[in-house]
Structure 1
Amino acid sequence: MILALITLPAVALDVVNYSSHGRDNLPYDKYYRELLALALNKSSPRFGPYQLNGVDAGKTQTNMIELIKHRHIVNVAWTMTSKARERELLPIRVPLFKGLGGCRIFLIRQGEQERFSQITQVSDLQNLLAGQGADWPDTSILKANNFNVITAKQHNSLFSMLTKQRFDYFPRALHEAYSEAARFPELIVEQSSLLYYPAPFFFFVSKEDKRLAERIEYGLNKMMADGSFEQFFNQNPYSKSVLAKANINNRRIYTLKNQLLTAQTAQVINSKQYQTSCRQFQ
């Protein structure tokens, strides 16, 4: 009897590295990491095994984008999109937080809620000083909408700057503010106002990393199709707790324009995957 030896082709391991620099303890980053892992799992029958790693690199958003662009150390990021970022990197146009990232509430100093409760129109906010990251798309959006913005290169610097009265308020995405306020006892989440502008958060990879982009998009679309994305969003402890705390229906909502969206991303915003009003989350 002759035994035939069949050599199965080796399956490539997809190594997926994200920046964990100063981020591993942030609850909202945990949401994105878990969602990425679910998408990679969904795509495993078609694309094979993977290894997901956090690496201590990417000190700023600009630095992280450069690392991904050149496929150096980091090869995936989750961040708010813009025309510039879509020129530099390859976006996977599935909104990761459905639109919640465009609902901006504020960190303010303890004892200043009454001051903000007196605000009744957008011009009141425009006359104050907002704090933002120097390389964030939000900074350009706020300035284009006639807001006064003070910037810092490092994300963590903004909390001490707010405490030291370098500016008046720090607009944050709904899913960011509460965990950050918990880290800084001298700060609180403002209770009466909300800024809204369309601001999808996408996964991004290098333009040369088309296989990884295809894999992540395939996994996310599978999740959309089988309902597991909606289940993850609705049942994830972080997104559930944020929506419960935010009390959106009792806030004054000021809608701004976002001039940084590409035509392709604008189409995504008009799809059923994306909520176009913060009140839709209630």
Structure 2
Amino acid sequence: MTWLKLCCIGWLLSATLASSVFASDKVIINLPLSKQDPRYDFSHRLLELILVQTTEQYGATKLQHAPTTMTRDRTLQELKRGELVTVVPQVSLVEWQQQLIQVNFPLLKGIQGLRVFMVRKDLAPPLKDLSEQQLKQLPTGLLPYWSVYPLLKNAGFKVVDGSEYQSLFNMLNRGRFDTFSRGINEAYNELEANHQQYPNLSIDNSVLINIPILTVFYVSPKHPRLAERLEQGLLMLEQSGKLNELFYAEFCPDLMRAGIDKRRVIGINNPNLSVEFLTQARQQGRLLDPKLPLDRICQPFVR
């Protein structure tokens, strides 16, 4: 075999190895349910940052959106197929954990389990004047496929079914139900996004529902390399301190506005969350502790 042939073979092997190592990951995320749906903004921006952060190890890739919006059940099925969508930020559920790859890293420190009520400004009597039992008797709106739905229902709340995300704000405004529980990370953004259309809506400032709810990245089982990449990127951001910085910069204004320490707290259990995962997240300091001095922590991030 000539020297030239050996060189060509060596070059081809090197090129094949390089293309294998830096094969572009197929990263397709879910679409928000409407233009007024800001719930995925932080998680999607975090995903983009992770992809940039891990370019050296995994190669450059392009973030794409799914071609259509999907219900939770369809999202699960499409994730299993790994074609229309490959990664979704979603509340950790044992059911999903058994069928998909769960990246065991809470994205939002559990803030979505710290829930406040969106109400009408003219609601009487206000929630602060109601006992816990009276509060639970008020009709509260949710979508049946949301993970919080059975939790509130089993806790004794009088739940009214909505048909789609955006219609819930209209139903609340029209008095079809009296309360609409939202995570602190959702409530104020949604109020602002819908203010022009529903100026009579506001956020109650007296009650806090505390449920262990953790959002994670779920990845299609057809794309295990992407799951590994996301976990490595999250660990890198955590170790550099960037992840905490991003979280508090994003959510401190809402945390301070919510005034957690001044609210009456109603705790609700979540049997759909893995106890092992919840315990691990707490031990690793990856959850928001409402008892922390948020005034001091958030001072650099709030004007």
TM-score > 0.5 by shorter chain: yes
TM-score, normalised relative to structure 1: 0.90
Structure 2 residue 24 is the aligned partner of structure 1 residue 13: yes
Corresponding letter in the other structure for 2:65: G
The 5 A counterparts of 1:67-216 are 67-112=78-123, 114-119=125-130, 121-182=131-192, 183=194, 184-216=198-230
Q: Partner of 2:54: helix, strand, or coil?
A: helix
Equivalent of residue 273 in structure 2, options 248, 258, 261: 261
Corresponding residue number in structure 2 for 1:235 = 249
Counterpart Cα distance in 1 of 2:165 and 2:27 = 24
* Structure 1 residue 72 displacement after superposition: 2.9
* Structure 1 residue 84 displacement after superposition: 1.9
Counterpart Cα distance in 2 of 1:45 and 1:189 = 44
* Structure 1 residue 96 displacement after superposition: 0.6
Counterpart Cα distance in 2 of 1:215 and 1:263 = 25
CA separation of 1:156 and 1:112: change in aligned 2, threshold 3 A:
same
Bigger mean CA offset, 106-115 vs 35-44: 106-115
- Structure 1 residues without counterparts, runs of 5 or longer: none
Bigger mean CA offset, 108-117 vs 242-251: 108-117
* Structure 1 residue 75 displacement after superposition: 0.9
Equivalent of residue 40 in structure 2, options 5, 26, 29: 29
Contact 2:139 2:179 in 1 (8 A): yes
CA offset digits 1:214-240 (Å, max 9, x no partner): 11011101111121111211223xx13
CA RMSD of aligned residues (A): 2.1
CA offset digits 1:71-92 (Å, max 9, x no partner): 1311111121122222232211
Who wins on radius of gyration, i.e. which is larger? 2
* Structure 1 residue 139 displacement after superposition: 0.6
* Structure 1 residue 113 displacement after superposition: 6.8
Counterpart Cα distance in 1 of 2:97 and 2:226 = 16
Corresponding letter in the other structure for 1:232: L
Identity %: 26
* Structure 1 residue 59 displacement after superposition: 2.8
CA offset digits 1:61-120 (Å, max 9, x no partner): 22222211221311111121122222232211111111211100011112227521212x
CA offset digits 1:161-202 (Å, max 9, x no partner): 112222110001111011111213231111111100110011
* Structure 1 residue 37 displacement after superposition: 1.2
TM-score, normalised relative to structure 2: 0.84
CA separation of 1:28 and 1:281: change in aligned 2, threshold 3 A:
farther
Q: Give the number of equivalent residue pairs.
A: 278
Contact 2:208 2:266 in 1 (8 A): yes
Counterpart Cα distance in 2 of 1:268 and 1:25 = 34
* Structure 1 residue 30 displacement after superposition: 1.8
Q: Partner of 2:226: helix, strand, or coil?
A: helix
* Structure 1 residue 42 displacement after superposition: 2.0
- Structure 2 residues without counterparts, runs of 5 or longer: 295-303
Contact 1:82 1:262 in 2 (8 A): yes
